[in-house]
Amino acid sequence: MGNQQGLSPDGVRVTRGLVLIGVLVAAQTVAAENWPRFRGPGGAGTSAQSGLPVQWTEDDYAWTTPLPGLGHSSPCVWDTHVFLTSAEEAGRKRLLLDIDTVSGRVRWQRAIDSKTHAKHALNSYASATPATDGKRVYVLFASDERLRVLAYDFDGRRIWESDLGAFHQREAQVHGCGTSPIVYQDTVIVANQQDGPSSIVALDSATGKPRWKTPRTLRLTAHSTPFVIRDAKRSGDRLFISNTGDGVAALHPGTGAMISRADLLTSRCVGSPVRVGDFVLATCGGGGRGKFLAAVPIDGEGDLAKTQLGWTRDRILPYVPTPVTYGKLLFLWGDSGTVACLQAQTGQDVWTARVGGNYSGSPICVDGKIYCVAQDGTVAVIAADTTFKVLGKSRLGEGCHSTPAVSGGRMFIRGFQHLFCLQARTPTE
């Protein structure tokens, strides 16, 4: 990286302005919104943080930290802790790192012995994003022999490990594992949706012991991450999952009991379900493109037919990236760089435009601006508006298959070799 002060003993590159920025940030009373899971609070992928740049150079990073191995998991942030997973030795060693948000220093790193296995070329051996409740951090690692969920405290001590059994891959083209754990109240929930015996599992967050387990029958391995809607129109909390079997399904997050399902997804689910107004949207696809989107009523009951859906769509859809909303608008960021803006409640087209690039990470919306990182490390930023506008493009200088995180006035972007930190600035800076 050019024009840097150099490497600290921990290998962290620090820009000239870090000290000044640190003083300015310390003087501000900005609420530090945590980013505790894949795509942040509620899995929505949105943040109200202002002051982040839309275009930058390598001199604008507060810090960059070299990362061991390779992983596609996204940053999980709580207060001054950034948690990341990675893998070395073709998956034979899986890693969990705790990085200081202010300095970029690696507080601690823990290694877990594992096994290598077949996977998709665009996947990694560490693609599951950690989740945290502020007490412990929870990680998921998969191999053909074991699907493991582990809990660590913030000092790096392993608290428990739960073995969910083998992760079967029987299809002609194996993909590996892509789902991430989430936290609901005092449980850790994992969507174990594979080619073998599948289930949605809730583990006690303090002990790792099973609270409930709901078996599922799938037609294709699913890589989507579930999310919980709390008190949906007085009908109670609902856990939403997506797969080719139940389609878009709602479970009671406290018991695992099935509430509703719309078995209408015929292709693989990689992108995660999201809430859009009165609906939960889920996509499916294959071959690098989305094939079908279903808008399922939040408060549905029992088996839902296609006629009971809010709306559907079968064109210009993402396969891997998860959709994101801003106000009354829905943005579908396609794998091949075509973005569609829709009216969120009705699915009516507003505009379609080509940004360019190929994408394995998902977009996030920050203060009315949508950020998404291409596989080649180009960060594209567009306006979350009814008119298409590119606000800026910046290059990481390395590849990226991850989704950014925003917390405490900072944006964290995980590349193949480094974790990058951008600092929000006040208008006077």
pLDDT over 70 (residue 26): no
Taking only the tens place, the pLDDT of each residue in 352-383 is 999 999 999 999 999 999 999 999 999 999 99
Evaluated on CA atoms 11, 406, 227, 185, the torsion sign reads positive
Can you give the pLDDT at residue 31? 42
4 pLDDT tier (thresholds 50, 70, 90)? very low
> Predicted confidence band at 32 (pLDDT cuts at 50, 70, 90)?
low
Read off the pLDDT band of 173 (50, 70, 90).
Answer: low
Distance, CA of 206 to CA of 184 (rounded, Å): 12
Euclidean distance between CA atoms 351 and 353, whole angstroms = 7
Residue 5 has pLDDT above 70, yes or no: no
Say which residue, 32 or 304, is predicted with more confidence: 304
The two tokens of residue 279 are 């609906």
CA distances from 388 to 118, 122, 215, 362, 382 (A): 40, 29, 44, 18, 7
Q: pLDDT confidence of 10, banded at 50, 70, 90?
A: low
- CATH superfamily of the domain spanning 13-235+311-423: Quinoprotein alcohol dehydrogenase-like superfamily (2.140.10.10)
Examine the pLDDT at 51 and tell me if it is beyond 50: yes
Q: What is residue 27's three-state secondary structure?
A: helix
Q: What is the pLDDT of residue 390?
A: 98
Mean pLDDT score of the chain: 89
What is the reported pLDDT for 13? 60
Domain ranges for the chain: 13-235+311-423
Query: Residue 164 corresponds to which tokens in the numbers above?
Result: 């969910």
- In this prediction, residue 172 carries a pLDDT of 59
Percent of the chain with pLDDT over 90: 75
pLDDT > 70: what percent of the chain? 90
| pLDDT above 70 for 429 | no
Q: What is the pLDDT of residues 192-244, one digit of tens each?
A: 988 888 899 999 999 999 999 999 888 888 889 999 998 766 678 999 999 98
Residue 267: predicted pLDDT: 92
φ, ψ dihedrals at 428, nearest 5°: -85, -10
pLDDT digits (tens, 9 = 90+) for 134-167: 999 999 998 877 889 999 999 999 999 999 988 7
Return the higher-pLDDT residue of 114 and 84.
Answer: 84
- What count of residues does the chain have? 429
